[in-house]
Amino acid sequence: MTGRTPRSGEPGGASSRRARKRPSSAALPDLGQYGRLAEYDRKRHFGVTPEPAAKMGTREPGRPLEFVVQKHRAGHLHYDFRLEHRGLMLSWAIPKGPSPDPVVKRLAMEVEPHPLDYNQFEGVIPEGEYGGGTVMIWDKGVWAPATKNGLGDEGEADRQLAKGDLKFVLLGEKLAGSWVLVRTRRERQWLLIKHRDQYASEDDLTITRPLSAVSGRTMAEIARAAGASPRQLEQAAQADPPARHVSADTARRKAPPRGGR
């Protein structure tokens, strides 16, 4: 691995030992000038990383809530699942990525909230920085909390998050339909599960739809364009599926939109 000293807040860092003493229901700390983005801010050096600074977002009334899934080859490959809520992006790291198959439960580790501006970030975090490696915008779209009778508001999302049982709908390019995030008894561990509906499928979308939702690029192409180190470039290339899947996703992208004129 990298051989560098773990920073505060990373697995193995000093704060993870302290964090174990916190009760499992503890909310993220809400301290400092950056509020709930303080942890995001503290982990990063903005003179070095191209990631956006900690800044709360604003939302015009009626604008739908954003979601994004970022494929991230850091120390390990994972998919960062982010839901806009009250001016920031609530975030979970999913080692195996989301599955549209209702029988598959995917572990989702709650991580620090990210700024809304992060939804546009696709590139490379330099070696030695927190989360160093290649980031792809794998999917993006809009989301809403779900109730028995339809869609809920932010207050509904607050109540369901507090219960550890957030039901929601996604409308993205790869992920869609009804889903749930369920908190487990373990600190910060949730499960992401697809509900049965017309968008459920047994496809492994991480293999069949491997390209960026915004640029159509592979991980290797993103790494190369951002001037990644040789080691990061090799790791990014290893995170891409075999070429035949890439060409199938490329062909889909170039096909004319269905239902168009």
Written as one letter, the residue type at 245 is: H
Q: In the bound complex, which residue of the shown chain has the CB atom lying closest to Mn ion?
A: 72
Minimum Å distance from CB 131 to Mn ion? 5
| Binding characters for Mn ion, 212-231, by CB under 5 A (x = yes) | --------------------
Determine whether 90 is exposed, middle or buried from the number of CB atoms within 10 Å of its CB (0-12, 13-18, 19+). Answer: buried
Give whichever of 80 and 122 is closer to Mn ion, judged by the CB atom: 80
Minimum Å distance from CB 37 to Mn ion? 16
Give whichever of 163 and 231 is closer to Mn ion, judged by the CB atom: 231
Give whichever of 131 and 152 is closer to Mn ion, judged by the CB atom: 131
Q: Compute CA 7 distance to the chain's CA centroid, rounded to the nearest angstrom.
A: 21
Q: How far apart are the two ends of the chain, measured CA to CA in Å?
A: 52
Residues that bind Mn ion (rule: CB under 5 A) add up to a total of 2
Minimum Å distance from CB 116 to Mn ion? 16
Minimum Å distance from CB 79 to Mn ion? 8
Q: Of residues 117-156, which lie at the interface with Mn ion (CB under 5 A)?
A: none
Give whichever of 167 and 174 is closer to Mn ion, judged by the CB atom: 174
Going by C-alpha positions, the residue among 176, 251, 255, 258 that lies closest to residue 211 is 251
Q: Of residues 39-98, which lie at the interface with Mn ion (CB under 5 A)?
A: 72, 80
Going by C-alpha positions, the residue among 151, 22, 135, 157 that lies closest to residue 88 is 157
Minimum Å distance from CB 143 to Mn ion? 19
* Interacting residues of 37 by C-beta distance below 8 A, sequence separation 6+: 54, 55, 56, 88, 112, 113, 114, 115
C-alpha dist (Å) from residue 85 to 109, 115, 168: 17, 10, 12
- Which residues lie near Mn ion (CB under 5 A)? 72, 80
